[in-house]
Structure 1
Amino acid sequence: MTRRIKLRTLLIGGLTTLFFVVLITRIFWIQIVSADFWQDHAKTQWSKELDLPASRGTITDRNGDVLAEDIPAYTVAINPRIITKYGIQQEVVEGLHKLLGKPEGELLKLINAKTKDGKLYGQREVRNEGWKIDLDLKDKVEAFAEQLRKEKKIPDSGIILIQEEKRYYPKESLAAHILGYTDRGGNAVTGLEKEYDEDLKGHDGILQYEADPKGVHVPKASEVYQPAKDGKNIQLTIDDTIQQYIENAMKEAYAKLNPISMTVIAADPNTMEILGLANMPTFNPNTYYDNVKQENFFNHAVRSQYEPGSTFKIVTLAGAVQEGVFNPDENYMSGSIHVPGGTLHDINRYGWGPISFLEGVKRSSNVAFVQLGYKKLGEEKFEHYVKDFGFGQKTGIELPGELPGQVSMHYPIEYATATYGHGQLLVTPIQQVAAVAAVANGGKLMVPHIIKSITDPTTGKTESTEPKVVRQVISPDKAREVGSYLEQVVADQKIGTGRHAYIEGYRVAGKTGTAVKPINGKYDYTKQVVSFIGYAPVDDPKILVLVVIDQPQNSKLGGGTAAAPIFKQIVSQVLPYMGVAKETTDADSKKDKKSQTLIKTPPMTGLSLKEASSRLRNQGLAYETLGKGDKVVSQYPKEGSDMTVGQQIYLLTEEGKKMQVPDLTGQSLRDAVEILNLMQVKVTASGEGYVISQKATQNKDGTRTVALTLEPPKTEAELKAEAEQAKAEADKAKENTEQKSEDSKNDSQGVDSKESSETSTPAG
């Protein structure tokens, strides 16, 4: 018995010892050998991490008008478990199909799909139709979910709305090829969005914190907080009003001419800031996925290479003038010229007989430019000027995908044809703009740029783009001389090929271009690239515009008849908008305008209407309130702008599209356009000067358009004459009133008017 007890005791003791040995070994293994693994595993249980997304930077025009921004968006999701629990599958499917357009079969699959363990999902997004929808559609989905909940008397409809952000382009297709777009996932695809993606997207932040088993945040526990760094804001050099003028003119011409494509670039030749750039066909960055052809996304301004035709003659002319070999009065025989390798002809193969070189420039004679570039300058000097003007190399503009063009002359015939823009010479539109700007600005080849500044919202630091001169190509006096000849190309209404670009009251310099397209190695005279490039005013250029039309349907149209009128339409609107007066404007009124005292516009945005009104009254500033709100949401002129004493400030108190259009009579075109742009109203204008009348119309798409009629300000002489006429009319009216009063008095005394008139003494 004693022996059994001892054996049992030993067995129990041994097992207990073994248990503790195993336990200690296991503890050692967990705490020492596998400590890192279990530490990490524990963290996953009580440590949570929350992503803090950064906002993408805003893109604006030169005046601060928003062209691209992030706005709230909403993704529709469903909870299949709840939908199935309350038996509302059919109602949800029909309702979301009607609102989102997603096929009913696909919605039903989303609801009935199960996980690997055979359970219904707790949440599924309705892609792509319900992904990042706008506020209007979100409100409709929300209303449907609420209606379903009430009708079925259930606590939850199973329809979820997840708040997110999406990229939005408020001007729609305006400047689309400059901006590019981001896809629905927020990934940059083309344009400046892609080129400056690193600057725009910013950096997401994180919040790491500890939570209990139920996921509740544990207070006073250690936290790691790294704030999101929002993307940088980019201000462009373009003016959205000028851009609108350009695109409106292009749409009209595109519908009329039916070409393969069109490109227009507008620039300030003195700084090479791009004021506007557009291509047709185009696209809407908000709906880039809606049956848009791939060619609509192509930015011809920097990515198309073509033989320029006669617009390139400006380079040949500039070189000849700089070298002193151009004599405008010297005669040559037009029609044809022989060079090694072949005979070259004018567009009029028989020519115009012996004519002066200046007439040859006006008529765009090929023979004249072969004489100037090939014979007088010579191959080496001609090629030097071609490359000095920037051809065969990228300009350096910030837009992605720029091509360098091609300069590849080896034989005499190739040099000769290049003098008038054909043969082994390919250019891009932006190269031509930079080259001709060098003539307009006094001979300086400059780098074109479309980024005005980049601002970091976190630090407030702004990096501005300064004008950059590449080289002095020709001297300032020779540049002015070239400009005087190009002015005659436009001003001569009889033989000037650019006469259709003439704008009354403004001095315009320019050159037409008509280049036959090579098809399979041979020139096809039914297919042409036609263009016009010019600048104004000649003596003080404010704007330079290039118009390129690829293969208009009517092959008989040239640069003078197809492209020059588009240039005229754009520039005749832009110059008054920029405040450039016609040369016929009275000199005294100019002087008076300059002598007016300038003050800075005070900041009003964000103030209550009462406070803003009080401040403006105290400062003696005139103002007008637009809208029915009680808080200033925007103003014009903007804060810090120069304004003259007596100029009126407009205070907008609600969203512009909801407000009534104010009376703009007496406003300049620029001020009227700015006010209407704030109100999201489209503008058309006729005439120049100041608004004398306006007409508002409602468009089918819900937008409004205001047609403005303008007249130039009256001269002092005209105002004096009107005042004298008004005084004379007032005096005459006074005499008539006095006479009627006297007649009435006589009648009351019983005097016969006929007898009175016969016995009275005639005056004078």
Structure 2
Amino acid sequence: MAKLTISKSWRYYFITFVIVAVISLLIYKLIHMQTVEYDKLKKEGDNRSERTVVSKAYRGMISDRNGKPLAISTPVDSIWVDPFFVKADDPKFLKILDLLDLSQDKRTSITERVKAREGKSGFIYLKRQISPYLAQQVKMMDVKGVKVEREFKRFYPDAEVMAHVVGFTNIDDKGQEGIELQYDSYLTGKDGKYSIHRDLKGGVARKNDDDIAIEHGNDITLSIDCKIQYITYKYLKEGVINNNAVAGSAVIIDVKTGEVLAMVNYPSYNPNNMYDATPEKRRNRVLTDVYEPGSVIKPFTAIAGMESGKYDVNTIVDTSPGYYKLNGSPVRDFRNYGEMDLRHILMKSSNVGISRIVLSIDANALADTLRKFGFGQMTKIGFPGERSGYVPSPRKWGDFPLATLSFGYGMNATALQIAHAYSAIANGGKLISPTLLKRNENEDASGFQVINSEIAKKMVDMLTSVVEGVGGTSSKARISQYHVAGKTGTVRKAIAGGYALDSYTVTFVGITPSSNPRIVIVVVVDDPKGEAYGGGSAAAPIFAQIAEHVLIVMGVPADKEK
């Protein structure tokens, strides 16, 4: 009887001990969870129930000076999955992958990532920027954990015509080139955000009061005129193809405001479909490519001579016998032009005549003049990739380098710099910083005087003779209704060890109407092939086609008598 009592007592105490131990352990665990592990467990719980909902801001629109859209953000949808709710081998999930028509590599990558994170909250994109129709099909399948998110995709209505100016964005809507890159922060909005708590079924249990208001991106209005841009691109493209050239560039500047009305390059690319958008095609040559400009620099040498007081329009220079040597190196003309005044030196584009002028004045004068007109420095247009060009220091010059510099060798410049400098000549000697943004009526575009207005006026008159005078080198730049002032440039392309024998860069710069200048147009053709490879034959006709159509579109009154 005593043994039975002891046995029952032992079991009683043992069971009591176990129950007390378990209860104590549970109490300890609860206290530990509420104190030591509280932050960790709260975070885990929030990860499973709390979601941040993002309201996507759209990117600001880019439009031309007349309000025509050049870059628009269009709504698209992206599909993502939360692995907490989905298994990689779920038939419904696999059916969605089929519907999205993913490549095998992409499909494998997604299923592996989902499998690795099964049961854990996360965010994995399945496919981005799909059509609303396809997104609706995914929604109708109603697979828990598969979400449709609204995004925006950039669309460029004018495609390759405007590509080099506007640029493009990547899949995350971040600017990569052009205006899209230059003003990325200004165009980019700020997404709106608010958080919600979901119930066990994935529904919204409550919405937290922590909203961040959505801020859409700012719009930008360019100085570019779409009609003028299209005309310029059309005739540049035709000219490059007809001359069997490597590439071409053209830029138009409003003389009075400094606004860039057109900036084009060929070949171009389609920013809506980047499959063949090579770096070579994406380059905005107007701003990024520097080259020796050749004879288009001669007017600035003539200006330096006029400013010295030694030369004027009618000053005679002897160019006989059509060549001479400096330090053993020859300076040549096409033929012996004999005695000529300054007007005819420019008309005939005489290397001998212009170099004799520069050698007769202060050696620093030409460098000072070139820099006054903006050569060797940025134009302040602020465009990504713009080059400053190069003007050598006078202390590095001997007589021969100085002579060749007078007709555009030994320095380099961009097409925009040349247009910028000529716009000052056309604007009575006032240099206005160029801009790709439309200027307000009240915005100061007065610029600053770099040369005397009388010298500028005389230069426009002499450059008109280059195009319209008998025997001028730029007769193919003439247009029927308007007077044109201009200058050609033809230079051999620099290569390692010297210059190519049969590869050229040719330029024509035109001011029109020359009786009351409104625009400056620069056309550059890279390596035209065939007999007609010079600036007067390859670049000037392109200018003439562009100028005649553009002036009509602008409504500029004709200044030629019929």
TM-score normalised by the shorter chain: which range applies?
0.7 to 0.9
- 1:258–1:553: 8 Å Cα contact kept in structure 2? yes
- 2:88–2:114: 8 Å Cα contact kept in structure 1? no
TM-score, normalization: structure 2? 0.86
Pick closer, same or farther for the CA change 1:225–1:449 going to 2, 3 Å: same
Please give the per-residue CA displacement for 1:500-526, whole angstroms capped at 9, x wherever unaligned.
Answer: 111233221111111111222222231
SS at match of 1:315: helix
SS at match of 2:257: coil
Pick closer, same or farther for the CA change 1:81–1:501 going to 2, 3 Å: same
**1:532 equivalent in alignment to 2:501:** no
2:220 and 2:520 map into 1 onto residues whose CA distance is 24
Please give the per-residue CA displacement for 1:226-267, whole angstroms capped at 9, x wherever unaligned.
Answer: 122111111100000000110110121121012111010001
**1:35 equivalent in alignment to 2:32:** no
SS at match of 1:577: helix
- 1:314–1:436: 8 Å Cα contact kept in structure 2? no
Pick closer, same or farther for the CA change 1:114–1:530 going to 2, 3 Å: closer
Aligned partner (choices 382, 387, 394) of residue 366 of structure 2: 382
2:497 and 2:353 map into 1 onto residues whose CA distance is 26
Letter in 1 for 2:228: I
Paired position in structure 1 for 2:404:
417
Give the count of matched residue pairs: 546
- 1:498–1:560: 8 Å Cα contact kept in structure 2? yes
Paired position in structure 1 for 2:332:
345
2:68 and 2:519 map into 1 onto residues whose CA distance is 21
Letter in 2 for 1:480: K
1:567 and 1:70 map into 2 onto residues whose CA distance is 35
Aligned ranges for residues 338-737 of structure 1 at < 5 Å?
338-340=325-327, 342-346=329-333, 348=334, 350-375=335-360, 377-409=361-393, 410=396, 411-423=398-410, 425-452=411-438, 466-467=443-444, 471-492=448-469, 494-554=470-530, 556-583=532-559
Shift of 1:13: 5.5
Percent of paired sites with the same residue: 29
**1:132 equivalent in alignment to 2:116:** no
Pick closer, same or farther for the CA change 1:431–1:293 going to 2, 3 Å: same
Using the TM superposition, name which of 378-387 and 264-273 deviates more: 378-387
Please give the per-residue CA displacement for 1:447-466, whole angstroms capped at 9, x wherever unaligned.
Answer: 1110227xxxxxxxxx9994
1:243 and 1:271 map into 2 onto residues whose CA distance is 17
2:142 and 2:7 map into 1 onto residues whose CA distance is 70
SS at match of 1:426: coil
- 1:491–1:502: 8 Å Cα contact kept in structure 2? yes
Shift of 1:107: 9.4
2:76 and 2:516 map into 1 onto residues whose CA distance is 48
- 1:515–1:529: 8 Å Cα contact kept in structure 2? yes
SS at match of 1:327: coil
- 2:506–2:526: 8 Å Cα contact kept in structure 1? yes
Paired position in structure 1 for 2:210:
224
1:446 and 1:117 map into 2 onto residues whose CA distance is 61
Pick closer, same or farther for the CA change 1:73–1:497 going to 2, 3 Å: same
2:78 and 2:278 map into 1 onto residues whose CA distance is 27
1:108 and 1:388 map into 2 onto residues whose CA distance is 61
Letter in 1 for 2:187: L
- 2:426–2:456: 8 Å Cα contact kept in structure 1? yes
- 2:254–2:520: 8 Å Cα contact kept in structure 1? yes
Shift of 1:535: 1.2
TM-score, normalization: structure 1? 0.65
Letter in 2 for 1:180: G
Unaligned runs of 5+ in 2: none
1:241 and 1:328 map into 2 onto residues whose CA distance is 38
**1:316 equivalent in alignment to 2:294:** no
1:85 and 1:7 map into 2 onto residues whose CA distance is 58
Pick closer, same or farther for the CA change 1:531–1:584 going to 2, 3 Å: closer
Letter in 2 for 1:521: G
SS at match of 2:272: helix
Shift of 1:76: 8.0
SS at match of 2:205: coil
- 1:483–1:509: 8 Å Cα contact kept in structure 2? yes
Paired position in structure 1 for 2:152:
165
Aligned partner (choices 226, 242, 245) of residue 228 of structure 2: 242
Shift of 1:534: 1.3
Paired position in structure 1 for 2:247:
261
- 1:265–1:430: 8 Å Cα contact kept in structure 2? yes
Shift of 1:330: 2.8
Paired position in structure 2 for 1:654:
none
Shift of 1:367: 1.3
Compare relative contact order (CA 8 Å, sep 6+) and give the higher one, 1 or 2. 2
Pick closer, same or farther for the CA change 1:337–1:42 going to 2, 3 Å: same
Shift of 1:133: 4.8
Paired position in structure 2 for 1:181:
168
Letter in 2 for 1:536: T
1:261 and 1:373 map into 2 onto residues whose CA distance is 33
Using the TM superposition, name which of 357-366 and 186-195 deviates more: 186-195
Paired position in structure 2 for 1:72:
75
2:529 and 2:79 map into 1 onto residues whose CA distance is 47
